[in-house]
Chain A
Amino acid sequence: MAKKYEYDLIIVIINRGFSDYIVEIAREVGATGATIINARGTSIYETEKFLGIDIQPEKEIVLILVKKEERNKIMIDISAGANLNQEGKGLCFSLPVSDLKGISHLFSKSKNND
């Protein structure tokens, strides 16, 4: 439960096909996994027209649940590794999690390893 451990949700929106790379970077700095949703981008800077038809780029949304104290490092490494500071590469932001269920098995696992 989040009342004992504080968590943040990192959301990365990148071009289709690059989510594996993002997850690999996140794993290297301590994340245990991610959830990926397919999406399409509707930004006016990315939508193009071809023969009168709007072409919207395919995107992937990567959700990564991390502890609050690890968030900064993971976001810095994801931004640097995926070149998110360059135009059209994607974006990354985080949201605070006020309550959480479903990670208790991770704590019992780490307790057994101690």
Chain B
Amino acid sequence: MKRKKIISPIDLLIVIIPRHKGNKVCKILNDYKIYTHVNCIGYGTAESTIADLFGFGIKERDIVFAIIPTDKGEKLLDVFENEFKFEEKDNGLAMTLPINSIEKKLFDLIKIGE
């Protein structure tokens, strides 16, 4: 099935990084005038079921969700990749997902940042 291309002016940014680094992500977002973000606590799974059973290899994570204008997405991903060294293992990752509708007040908050 051919996937329909989604064109959206707003994306959801998700950054998954080691615990206690979420504040740094939020600071970078603030520097880029993006104030619509939340920082959650989570954990990553171990590499194997056995490691999970024994409780080692489970990595504590901070997960940051942010609503961003699409045109800032690529730049932000590059900044996070350089800042947190994503090319190395277990340093985390970041992704953007398209959003197809948004509530007006939140949209105004994003535009205020611009």
Q: How many residues of A contact B (CB 8 A)?
A: 27
- The interface-forming segment of B21-29, B36-44, B105-113 is B36-44
Residues of A bordering B, CB below 8 Å? 2, 7, 9, 20, 23-24, 27, 33-38, 63, 65, 68, 95-105
Partner of B49, one of A27, A36, A95: A27
Cβ–Cβ < 8 Å partners of A35 in chain B = 16, 42-45, 61, 63
Cβ–Cβ < 8 Å partners of B42 in chain A = 35-38
* Alpha-carbon gap, A7 to B94, bound state (A): 12
Besides A33-B46, A36-B45, A98-B6, 7 new A-B residue pairs in contact (Cβ under 8 A), listed by A number: A7-B95, A95-B97, A96-B98, A99-B74, A101-B80, A101-B86, A105-B88
| B104 on the A face (CB < 8 A) | no
Partner of A102, one of B46, B52, B94: B94
Q: Is there contact, CB below 8 Å, between A101 and B94? A: yes
The minimal Cβ–Cβ distance linking B38 to chain A, given in whole angstroms, is: 11
The minimal Cβ–Cβ distance linking B3 to chain A, given in whole angstroms, is: 8
Cβ–Cβ < 8 Å partners of B96 in chain A = 97-100
* Alpha-carbon gap, A101 to B93, bound state (A): 6
* Alpha-carbon gap, A65 to B94, bound state (A): 11
* Alpha-carbon gap, A102 to B43, bound state (A): 17
Partner of B94, one of A36, A95, A96, A100: A100
* Alpha-carbon gap, A36 to B41, bound state (A): 9
Residue of B nearest to A6 (CB): B3
The minimal Cβ–Cβ distance linking A67 to chain B, given in whole angstroms, is: 13
Known contacts A2-B95, A9-B14, A35-B63; A101/B81 CB under 8 A: yes
Cβ–Cβ < 8 Å partners of A102 in chain B = 16, 81, 86-87, 91-94
Partner of A105, one of B43, B89, B95: B89
Interface string of B59-74 (1 = CB under 8 A from A): 0010100000000011
Residue of A nearest to B92 (CB): A102
Cβ–Cβ < 8 Å partners of A95 in chain B = 12, 97
* Alpha-carbon gap, A27 to B3, bound state (A): 26
| B47 on the A face (CB < 8 A) | yes
